[in-house]
Structure 1
């Protein structure tokens, strides 16, 4: 975090006053969670190593743009690098080509997307014995047999399309295999779950056309981030299953529209799609979301008291965390989300979309980086999931949808 000025006593008092609920949840969730440990058995490690693991969303490209590191080697920070991926058995992480909403409706969004694709290609070029770009499920399987980690790519935020289907074709040719229609604001395609303006009341006219075009070209539709109305419109229009590349369940995070509610999960199941569970603590537990709200309220109170230029804002989150411990979720919370999807629509509609390198310091105890996948497998074993079911969660379900999308496009 930037900045070097501590909170004043007055500002700190405001922070604590406005975050009493976060303090309460931290007292029950944070310290207890941090003392819990997880360990994987030899069986869990073997399953992780012997199974293709597809993670629907890892933000390595934007991470290396912000601060370059060579992820083909061990790195001292972040959540992903080659040694840790090998340790965890992760062999098909979707690289997120993330374009911030601040660049919507500008040529810079398209340029940035191409630059981030370049960065993925550079990773492969530096270590072709370790990584290879994958553009279809069969390539993922071939790379797995060769002991190479696949790097398929998905675009987070459809802004780089700029309303031009020629750009859709260009990004397909560069390897993009899913598109998250919007991000934190409505764009020219869709409303966002975070954007209260509801500009389009779902999809834009171009967005409705785009659904058909993505079906026809063979790019998966990703409904993470979009508004509820947009989700239902996508489900009505698409001819193939869709994915939520990194979303969790609203049942456990009431009021958080970024996650999916039970009715949406049921519709996704009817569609044949897959929700890929996000690991971020605020995505899997309401306590973490309440903490975030408390911090935002405290920051806003400080702005009101001391002004937008207050030096105390520069290091606000770090100081706030020191006074109000963050209530980390746990591996068990993540497993609860998986269990609930299975109870609603069956084992064929859930996968993994960790959001590693994308959710900062909010990852659950037991799932702190890509080396942690054996812990997830152990948790599933402990909850009596069979090996066949675990393999579906780790990759089988997503690979099925991807193949269905590819097969449909081949006929159109």
Structure 2
């Protein structure tokens, strides 16, 4: 009797051991759950190492203890794991949702699509939506690459998705809205936005659908509106007294769009804006297409430099006069006023212009790099009169006078 093995004790021992193993595995599961819970509210970059640690526990339970009580709970934990990582999407923080959702799409390579079940494709539609929403929000935003980056990823990763199909209509709508704003109170901002939209639309990738073909048409539409918007911007800048920017805008317009119907008037705006930078009174009225008039003005050049005379008022324009080869600068303005253009033996270079009567604003410039200071002046002209003026340079102030 003393040699009989206590079989009941062995059974109890095996049951206790098995229960201890189950509890240990549940403890590991609980540890992974706590890791995930502790990441809530943290940026993805900060939380990612913790996600990987929790995922390693879940994967180990599936690989080695799938039939344990803890292993059977892993699918539910993975669902919660996905929900935690995708929290920005649930909060409609689409831009912040892109990176974590992209990460979730990589997990089938770690866990396996069979174990993930529906979770394997769970992030796809959410990521497509996030890429669309974040990308569209960046349309027209100058200096931002969000629209191009996110919409490009959408078109290449999910080309057949409903979200990809909405990209072109969204771009077209943004262009239409910006184009309409050209006639509003801030055409410069509208034109800048059109420039950005045109660039964004033209850089989106070809995803093998008709989306890109339509985007090319949108780009052409934006380019046409940019042309009219640039002119409207220059006029707006001039009206607001921003003459430096108005000159730059109109000068660029003239060179960029030589065949635009507003090209000639844009050139006049550029001239008037340059004069108004020296004399703001010249910018109080808008240049018109008017030219010629009953007043005849002949300008002689008594200076060693070629000069350009800009004028605006009832008419706007410019005239260039070649250098006087035998002329020199005067030591003072007083001597220039007394002796300029009085040498009968000198054939002074000259130009004659016809102007309407009234107040005309002039700006006297040299056309070479002489360093001469521009000289602005004003003349009052009576109808039918004839005037002769003389341009000369003085060396004492490095300036020119007419």
Q: TM-score, normalised by structure 1?
A: 0.22
Flag the structure with larger Rg: 2
Structure with the bigger RCO (C-alpha within 8 Å, sep 6+) is: 1
